[in-house]
Amino acid sequence: MLLSAFVFVLASCSKEYPEPVVTPEKNTWFVNTDTFGPTSFVYYDTANLMYGGIKGKGSVTIKFRAKPKEDGDFKFREKADEFGEISILIIDSTNNISWQSTDDDGLALKEEQTAKVTVNGSNIGVAFNNKWLKRTDIVDRAKVSLNIE
């Protein structure tokens, strides 16, 4: 009985806890510890992309294969070639750094990443927390959270 209690205590001490999920306020995004926004986002039907930016600070461009018609989880890709895929580019203008989504970032992602896409009439929303994007100019990555409504 004492051995069982010891094993239980030992197992509970070594348990890994996930990092807290922080949801940005509406139309705001986080890159590592930097906050961007809020700003307005516009969907461009002719290019199947959403864009929002803050002059002199940064921007987000989200590309779809086609305009989403229903809610769902969209897979991160370097290029959104299929329905249900999303491509994300974030630019930090202050530090002249950009990050993008990718299928294979060479950084050993443990699971495929997705963004929650919502459709409310003609408005498209995109949200995700603590996902990895790769830096476009070197082998590095950033943890990103985004909430567009």
pLDDT in tens, 21-66: 567 899 999 999 899 999 999 999 999 999 999 999 999 999 999 9
Peptide bond into 38 cis (omega under 30): yes
The tally of CA atoms less than 13 A away on the side-chain side of residue 49 is 14
For the chain, give every domain's residue range: 24-148
**pTM for the whole structure:** 0.81
Structure tokens at 3: 């051995």
